[in-house]
Amino acid sequence: MSSSNPVAKAPCSKELERDWWPLESSPDVLTKFARHWDLPNEYEFVDVLGLDPELLSLVSRPVHAVVFLFPDTPTIVDHRTKEGPGTPAARGQEPLWIPQVGVALDPDRRTALLAASPLIKPAHMAVVAAGDSQVRESDWEDADHFLAFVRHNGRVWEMDGNTPRTGPLDRGPASNDLLEDAARIIRDVYIPRAEGSVHFSTIALVGPESGAGASGDV
């Protein structure tokens, strides 16, 4: 589960994706990316070396978010499509990652809204070359996919702006340990559908207590 060299496309529409170079799945890259948005110095992204309890225990707590990289295998894509806008968990939920002005927009238009931000794209491009991997245009076709898990109002939410999702997906009640919750979801939902691929990595956002428990709400 370590983030050795895989890269992932930023979630965006077909028309815009060539403007967004893949990012390496690396704690250093994600930390530099977040620093552009004033992530405090006491917070950082760290590698999760595996999903076994012993390896999860090596990650400092609390964990405030989990970033997961996975391959878009046909089985995973099919499952995610079935979980998409037709599920009660996703339908009617206001997106948590988009300004209020974007709530009524479809995923492609939300992407365009984000792409027009003077904060997001410059930060993205500034860290494209920050990792150890050589990012080439050919990586676009083979790049994997990022999503994130966060805790909000006592629930675990899967955050993914890519089609077919129309908003955050409710993954059920949250425990006091977001990393354990995310690891369970990854083991149950994604690993069995990997079709033999090993292109997975997991990265955790760690830092001080936020005042909302062992894994603070966002």
Token pair recorded at residue 202:
């997991």
pLDDT at 54 over 80: yes
- The residues near 21 (Cβ < 8 Å, ≥ 6 apart) are 124, 125, 128, 135
**Contact by Cβ (8 Å): 29, 181:** no
Can you list the domains of the chain with their CATH numbers? 7-206 (3.40.532.10)
Token pair recorded at residue 69:
């990289």
Per-residue pLDDT tens for 75-87? 877 877 777 653 4
Task: Compare 25 and 49 and report the one with higher pLDDT.
Answer: 49
Task: Compare 56 and 12 and report the one with higher pLDDT.
Answer: 56
State the pLDDT at residue 162. 66
Give 50: exposed, middle or buried? Use CB within 10 Å, 0-12, 13-18, 19+. middle
pLDDT at 16 over 70: no
Q: Which has the closest alpha carbon to 119: 35, 42, 54, 178? A: 35
89 falls in which pLDDT band (50, 70, 90)?
A: very low
Stretch 148-171: mean pLDDT = 84
Residue 55 exposure: Cα atoms within 13 Å on the Cβ side: 13
pLDDT at 74 over 90: no
